[in-house]
Structure formats: C-alpha cells, structure tokens
C-alpha cells in the first residue's frame, strides 16, 4: 500500500500570523469515494504508511465499506516540512494542530469533495487532531475516536516533551526557548544540522523517548524480550529506539513537537481558552480510548474531557494494557490491536460503545 498524493494549498496562512509558502498536504485514500468517509490523520513522526496497520479487509477500517482518508500532518516529511522545503525557509514557520486540521478540511472538501464523515479517529497526535476536528468543525462527522491522545496537552506532557526537545537540540549546542517554542537561537543565527549533530541528537532523543513510550510494567516484566524478541535492554535501546529516531529528520520533529506542546482545541474562537466550553460544544458521538498505563496521556485526563461533554456524547474506555502509549499503535502488540478493532467495529456498525 505504498505511495501517496499531494494537494497544493498555495500560500497558506497560519494561526501564528505567518504564511507557509507553496504549502502542500500529502494524503492517501483507500476505498471508493462513494462510500462513507473516515478521516484518519497521521501521528507524531509517522508517515502515511504508518497508519496502515489499522486498515484492511478484516479490520473495522475496511476499504470495501468506507472511503478512508489518511492526511499527513505538516512537518511529517510528506506534507510541507523542513525536509522538503527550500533552505531559505529556516527557521520553519510555527505550525499548530489547528493549521493541520484547517489544511485537512480544505483537502477533504475542496479536492476530494467530501462534505461529511462517518468517523474521524487517530492515535497520539492523531487523537489531538481528532479533537481539533470535532471542535473546529462540530457538524462534520457522526463519530469520533481519539485514542491515546488529548484535547489539550497537559503541563506534564509539555515537560516530557521539553526533555525530548532539549536532548535533540543539545547535539548542536542549542537549547529550548520554552514550551511550544523552538530553539533559543535568534533567527539570524540559526544553523542547520551537520551529520554528526543529527546522529547524536536523534540517538539522544530516542533514549529519552524510551522511558516514556512504554510503561514501568512493560519494562519490569521485560516485554521487550518476551514479546519483541530483543535479547537485552541495550539491544532494545539501539535497535528499537535509536533505529526509530535515526529514521527521522530533526527539524521535522521539532516542528511537530512545537505543535504538540501547544495543542489545545479551546485555543480558537468561539472558546478563547475556555476548555470546558470547547468540550461541551462537541456534537459527534465520541469514544475516548486512553491507555491505562499511558505516561503521555493518562486516563484521568481523558475522563475529565468526557465529563465536560454534554451527557450522552462521550464515553471513556481505557486500553487494559501495560504497553503504555504503544497500546494505541502502531500495531506493535496484537492483543491491543484486536481490542481496539473490536471497539471500532461496534461503534461503526451501530454506534455501540463496547465495554
């Protein structure tokens, strides 16, 4: 299922007041446009193909039943990103989750001709985009399933990401300018990455991420050995975490990190920072699936999101898993995939929330 298409957005105005020149959004579709639409955005660092583990003839996201649209975030390396933009566009403009969803709405309505969706769903930053969709365009979809994500990035999550960002930046002797900001280097002194800095920064970032992606219980029970087949913790660090990080572009990651830290679907009219009002505005039936042991997006935050929704709109059912954030994707643990797919099938078939 390789390959993707792009749609030109022209000079794209951003919520920061900047403009992203000659912007493009990458996407891929599965199934016939005559079928009910499902929108499934990508996640932090993920390519379009990284969403395909949840799509197939035996899955809830079945291309013979639905027209599945996977739009790529700005910064993922396929939509407009530092890695595919001219060197003159440095530092890269400040991108928000709202910008990503505005671009997706244009793609889906202007180019693909879809005016309503059956469901919008996503994992991690894909879940954050799902929340943005259902608050920014509350009448666009019947159903929403944000899994292992949040409507607003918590302070603790911002702190976690500061560690990730700082590990990455330290390789080129730069430092963070603060949460939801880039590096502290003045724009006129900004420098790109040489190969040595890139390698050192990405390896450091991967090792910081390793302590957050999976839970304490995952490591305590050594599932990296019994389930993933690594023979040692160091082997797991090098061949899972460092390998993952080294496949990425550091400047792309920083664009997405900044958007993640600033994530807050109440930071838009008409809510103007009133988070509870934003949650109450949601009209789509929303099944929120946090990870029971997720260190990024704990279930307590998800429970509060649902509690703020109009009664009957939201439900919260945690993944009963010790795989931490990775319970929600990208298809690493078969038991978690089966659990998630069963929830999606029940919801898509008749709106049932399966406990």
User: Residues 74, 137: one domain?
Assistant: yes
Cα 302 to Cα 150: distance, rounded to the nearest angstrom: 7
- Assess whether 124 carries a catalytic annotation: yes
- Assess whether 94 carries a catalytic annotation: no
Of 94, 99, 294, 301, which is the active-site residue? 294
Cα 191 to Cα 172: distance, rounded to the nearest angstrom: 9
Of 79, 124, 176, 321, which is the active-site residue? 124
Residue range of the domain that includes 240: 157-261
- Assess whether 294 carries a catalytic annotation: yes
User: Residues 161, 190: one domain?
Assistant: yes
Q: What's the gap between Cα 195 and its chain centre?
A: 27
Of 215, 301, 325, 336, which is the active-site residue? 325
Q: What pLDDT is attached to residue 353?
A: 86
The answer to whether residues 291 and 127 touch, using CB atoms and an 8 Å cutoff, is: no
User: Residues 200, 278: one domain?
Assistant: no
User: Residues 297, 225: one domain?
Assistant: no
User: Residues 212, 144: one domain?
Assistant: no
Instruction: Output the six-digit token pair for 85.
Output: 């933009």
Cα 228 to Cα 32: distance, rounded to the nearest angstrom: 36
User: Residues 77, 113: one domain?
Assistant: yes
Q: What pLDDT is attached to residue 1?
A: 46
| pLDDT tens for the chain, residues 1 to 355 | 469 999 999 999 999 999 999 999 999 999 999 999 999 999 999 999 999 999 999 999 999 999 999 999 999 999 999 999 999 899 999 999 999 999 999 999 999 999 999 999 999 999 999 999 999 999 999 999 999 999 999 999 999 999 999 999 999 999 999 999 989 988 788 888 999 999 999 999 999 999 999 999 999 999 999 999 999 999 999 999 999 999 999 999 999 999 999 999 999 999 999 999 999 999 999 999 999 999 999 999 999 999 999 999 999 999 999 999 999 999 999 999 999 999 999 999 988 887 7
Query: Phi and psi dihedrals of 333, rounded to 5?
Result: -110, 115
Q: Is residue 224 part of a domain?
A: yes
Q: Is residue 355 part of a domain?
A: no
Pairing state of beta strands 141-147 and 67-71?
A: unpaired
């Amino acid at each position: 299922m390789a390959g993707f298409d792009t749609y030109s957005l022209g000079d794209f105005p951003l919520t920061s007041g900047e403009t992203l020149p000659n912007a493009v959004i990458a996407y891929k579709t599965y199934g016939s446009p005559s079928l009910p639409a499902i929108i499934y955005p990508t996640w932090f660092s993920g390519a379009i193909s990284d969403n395909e583990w949840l799509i197939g003839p035996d899955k809830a996201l079945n291309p013979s039943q639905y027209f599945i649209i996977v739009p790529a975030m700005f910064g993922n390396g396929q939509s407009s990103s530092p890695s595919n933009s001219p060197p003159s566009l440095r530092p890269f403009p400040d991108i928000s989750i709202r910008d990503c969803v505005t671009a997706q709405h244009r793609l889906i309505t202007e180019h693909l001709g879809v005016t309503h969706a059956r469901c919008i769903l996503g994992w991690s930053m894909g879940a954050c985009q799902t929340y943005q969709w259902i608050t920014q365009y509350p009448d666009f979809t019947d159903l929403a399933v944000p899994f292992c994500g949040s409507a607003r990035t918590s302070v603790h999550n911002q702190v976690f990401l500061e560690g990730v960002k700082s590990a990455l930046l330290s390789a080129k002797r730069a430092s963070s300018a603060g949460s939801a900001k880039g590096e502290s280097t003045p724009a006129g002194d900004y420098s790109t990455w040489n190969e040595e800095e890139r390698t050192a920064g990405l390896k450091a970032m991967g090792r910081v991420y390793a302590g957050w992606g999976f839970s304490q219980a995952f490591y305590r029970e050594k599932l990296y050995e019994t389930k993933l087949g690594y023979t040692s913790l160091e082997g797991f660090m090098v061949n899972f975490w460092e390998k993952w990080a080294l496949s990425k572009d550091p400047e792309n990651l920083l664009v997405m990190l900044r958007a993640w830290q600033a994530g807050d679907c109440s930071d838009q009219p008409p809510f103007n920072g009133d988070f509870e009002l934003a949650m109450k505005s949601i009209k789509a039936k929303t099944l929120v699936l946090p990870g029971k042991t997720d260190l990024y997006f704990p279930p307590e935050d998800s429970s509060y999101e649902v509690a703020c929704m109009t009664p009957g709109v939201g439900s919260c059912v945690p993944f009963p898993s010790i795989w931490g954030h990775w319970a929600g994707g990208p298809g690493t643990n078969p038991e978690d995939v089966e659990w998630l797919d069963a929830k999606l099938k029940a919801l898509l078939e008749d709106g049932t929330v399966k406990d």
